[in-house]
Chain A
Amino acid sequence: MTSREIGGTLSPGFYYFSGNEAVAEGAITAGCRYYAGYPITPSSEIMERISIRFKDVDGVFMQMEDEIASICSVIGAVWAGAKAMTATSGPGFSLMQEAIGYATLTETPLVIVDIQRAGPGTGQATRVASGDLMQAKWGSHGDYQTISLCPWSVQEMYGQTIDAFNLAERYRVPVFVMGEEAIGHLRERMEAKPTVEIFDRAKKPGAPPFGTNQDDGVPPMPAFGEGERLLVTGSTHNEFGIRKTDDAVVHANLVTRINNKILKHRESIIKTEPYYLDDAEIIVVAYGFTARSSLFAVDRLRKEGKKVGLLRLKTIWPFADRIIHQIGRVAKKMFVPEMNRGQVRGEIMKYVGCDVIPYNQTDGDIIHPHEIMKQVRSLL
């Protein structure tokens, strides 16, 4: 990580941005200079702002023919040396899944921002949900690990987009910013600090680009045009990129390494935020916009003297299993409000023995604080 002045891209100070605008600014600050996308509600404002702002920073913007072309051209640009991203919503995220698997096997760092809307199918394009979390985890075929972040504010749409680029470059992996319509279209004050921490791709000319003996598990990454004569393939390959499609050992080692390089570093990737956990008997676990409602509700209940706490998940994948396990041992009950049918509640139940009470709302609206207060009171 190096500290970098942001002045060349955005003047430090306070801004009144929408979440989607903040994503575009965060990407530019992080060094993103290639963006490809396809219009889709409720994420299109990201692409629109990028198309204008890239003129200031000599970025390359491409509006592609579909989401498949968008993600594929992003991968091509990354191998040509770019930090690159796309943004979309559920239907587009579905179309990108095959290429996401390709990016994990070729260890291509990239960022996808998914501004989640109410699904399945075309669903309700303008309304909110957080129904794509399991898709972010399991959407492509085969065994792989990626990283997913869950912003809850415009400030975090900016900051987590920067984090997403840093994590992608550090681990050579696709990173998803799992926004929600309510955050994408929320407009509130955010601050752009004068300096940010930026991670730039590790280079080591001549070193194998697809294998390493180091414990870290992340090989250095060259680019096209550097004279390395790269072999990049989505088929099973050895450390130099030569296809090995019938070699059991090469395949086993490759799949193990691309999974372990994320899992081994999980403790530094996973971020959570505790509120009132020390003596809490009921612990709310929430993420994204629902965590805002939850914090409001928990604050109120605390003022009433109720022993209620909140664990906010700032990252969803890899899952915060250790801290969930720890708090599950002291909590009497956990309460998990979600704008889906219980995707994260199911994950929590793998790691705790106490009751995990779901509250699942899939009506295209946010979960309001009074609903959370009502539900938690009924558990006390």
Chain B
Amino acid sequence: MGRDLEKYLRPEVKSTPFCPGCGHGILMNLILRAIDDLQLRMDEMLFVSGIGCAAWIPSPNFNADTLHTLHGRAVAFATGAKMFNPKLKTMVISGDGDLASIGGNHLIHAARRNIDLTVICANNMIYGMTGGQAASTSPLGALTSTTTEGNIYRPFDLCKLVIGAGASYVARYSVTQPVSLIEAIKKSLTIEGFAFVEVLSTCPTQFGRRNRYDSPTDMLTMLKESCISKQEAEKLSPEEMQGKVITGEFSYGGT
């Protein structure tokens, strides 16, 4: 992380909570870069997170009001805080299991209400903190501690889900696309209404080692190679689309 961003961190927090090679450290950096670019004041910000590795991005690291909540319920807690005090610039940062599985109902209802929240979903496709179990976002065939012969269920397309529920702004980028991701986070913080950014992240400890990505770099390379733009996707056949993920902005201003 750039030293100029250290001013956004709690001085008493000295170490990262993340495993070596975890993509969440990159995401933490990019969120703070977006906040710095927008010159937002940390005293006016509220960061809400659930349970899991990604929930530790803001809590206790960010030097602002932080609310570390129950598993799956971050969006519901954030709804109460934001509705009672609309001056709080409220950002939810949590993982795919937290926001989309156990908390999926709160996510779609907050999008439906189009509440002025920013939700950053760090999607590493697995339950990292609890030991690498399959998630609702694990790819078909993924090896996890609960799918030792390969995941047989299709993963959620979180962006489609949240667009369907009525969000104002929806984007997906990977931690390997830092410039686009910073811009997307900035838009998510400035747009009125419900904004959702799915961030494809890496879990070398739980996902990588079970799925033959032998180093953190291998995982990042895999992400980099699988992410394509909407324009690129239009040129590919369904067979060529296998294993690819479309990144970009999917919904802006309710369109």
A residues near B (Cβ < 8 Å) are 33-34, 36, 60, 62, 64-66, 68-69, 72-82, 84, 98-99, 102, 223-225, 227-235, 241-243
Residue B76 CB within 8 A of the other chain: yes
Q: Are A69 and B79 in contact (CB under 8 A)?
A: yes
Q: Which B78-99 residues have a C-beta within 8 angstroms of A?
A: 78-85, 87-88
Q: Are A228 and B81 in contact (CB under 8 A)?
A: no
Contacts of B77 in A (CB 8 A): 72-73, 75-76
Contacts of A69 in B (CB 8 A): 73, 76, 79, 105-106, 109
Contacts of A234 in B (CB 8 A): 68-70
Q: Are B106 and A227 in contact (CB under 8 A)?
A: no
Task: Give Cα A62 to B83, complex, Å.
Answer: 9
Q: What are the 7 A-B residue pairs with the smallest beta carbon separation, nearest first?
A: A76-B80, A73-B80, A77-B80, A72-B76, A76-B77, A233-B68, A76-B81
Contacts of A227 in B (CB 8 A): 43
> How close is B60's CB to chain A, nearest CB, in angstroms?
5
Residue of A nearest to B56 (CB): A243
Contact of A64 among B46, B60, B76, B85 (CB under 8 A): B76
Contacts of B67 in A (CB 8 A): 76, 79, 224, 230, 232
> How close is B41's CB to chain A, nearest CB, in angstroms?
10
> How close is A317's CB to chain B, nearest CB, in angstroms?
23
Q: Are B73 and A224 in contact (CB under 8 A)?
A: no
Contact of A73 among B64, B65, B83 (CB under 8 A): B83
25 CB-based A-B contacts, threshold 8 Å: A34-B80, A34-B84, A62-B79, A64-B76, A66-B105, A68-B76, A69-B105, A69-B109, A72-B70, A72-B106, A76-B81, A77-B84, A79-B67, A79-B81, A80-B81, A81-B84, A224-B67, A225-B43, A230-B67, A231-B59, A233-B68, A234-B70, A242-B12, A243-B59, A243-B68
B residues near A (Cβ < 8 Å) are 10, 12, 42-44, 46, 48, 59-60, 63-70, 73, 76-85, 87-88, 105-106, 109
Contacts of A102 in B (CB 8 A): 69-70
> How close is A60's CB to chain B, nearest CB, in angstroms?
5
Max chain A C-beta neighbours (<10 A), residue from B59, B63, B85: B85
Q: A72-B106, A80-B81 are in contact. List 10 more A-B contacts (CB 8 A).
A: A68-B76, A69-B105, A73-B77, A73-B79, A73-B83, A76-B69, A229-B63, A230-B66, A231-B66, A241-B60
Residue of A nearest to B89 (CB): A225
Contact of B76 among A60, A76, A229 (CB under 8 A): A76
Given the contacts A34-B83, A75-B80, A77-B81, A65 and B42 also touching, CB distance less than 8 Å = no
Task: Give Cα A74 to B10, complex, Å.
Answer: 27
Task: Give Cα A290 to B237, complex, Å.
Answer: 72
Given the contacts A33-B84, A99-B73, A224 and B65 also touching, CB distance less than 8 Å = yes
Q: Are A80 and B59 in contact (CB under 8 A)?
A: no
Contacts of A242 in B (CB 8 A): 12, 60
Contacts of B85 in A (CB 8 A): 80-81, 223-225
Given the contacts A76-B78, A224-B65, A234-B68, A64 and B109 also touching, CB distance less than 8 Å = yes
Task: Give Cα A366 to B246, complex, Å.
Answer: 62
Q: Are A65 and B84 in contact (CB under 8 A)?
A: no
Task: Give Cα A98 to B72, complex, Å.
Answer: 12
Task: Give Cα A233 to B17, complex, Å.
Answer: 16
Task: Give Cα A135 to B218, complex, Å.
Answer: 51
